[in-house]
Amino acid sequence: MVYIMTGYYDYILGLIPLALLGITGTLTVAGLQLTTAVPMAAGVAALLTGHALFVNGPSSPSPARFDEHAGPNAADAPSPSVLDAD
């Protein structure tokens, strides 16, 4: 049995082409010219994208924790001192 979990971004990805095609077709059938209907539908698709990015944006993962048990990185190691053989 396969469990399909659809989320907010899955719906947004489905609504963008649906808005472009559906709104363009509806406005064209309603009597608007294609050159007017396409930018209006693209505006709705842009609003959907903006909502997905800025209003309900993807959450960032929790910040990486510093592991105290790990050794120092090569960049963090102190530079070797010069030995004077005299």
- Give residue-wise pLDDT tens across range 24-41: 999 999 999 999 999 999
Residue 26 lies in a domain: yes
How many distinct structural domains can be found in the chain?
1
Task: Give the pLDDT of residue 57.
Answer: 73
Domain interval for residue 37? 8-55
Asked if residue 73 is part of any domain, the answer here is no
Q: Give the residue from 43, 41, 46, 42 showing the smallest Cα distance to 27.
A: 41
Residues 55-77 have a mean pLDDT of 61
In 3D space, the residue among 48, 40, 38 whose CA is nearest the CA of residue 15 turns out to be 48
Q: Is residue 78 situated within a structural domain?
A: no
- Bigger pLDDT: 18 vs 57: 18
* Alpha carbon distances (Å) from 48 to 2, 26, 62, 64, 79: 29, 18, 26, 31, 53
pLDDT of 9 over the 60 cut? yes
Model pLDDT, residue 62: 58
84 located within any domain: no
Contact at 8 Å (CB) between 61 and 18? Answer: no
Answer whether residue 63 is part of any domain. Answer: no
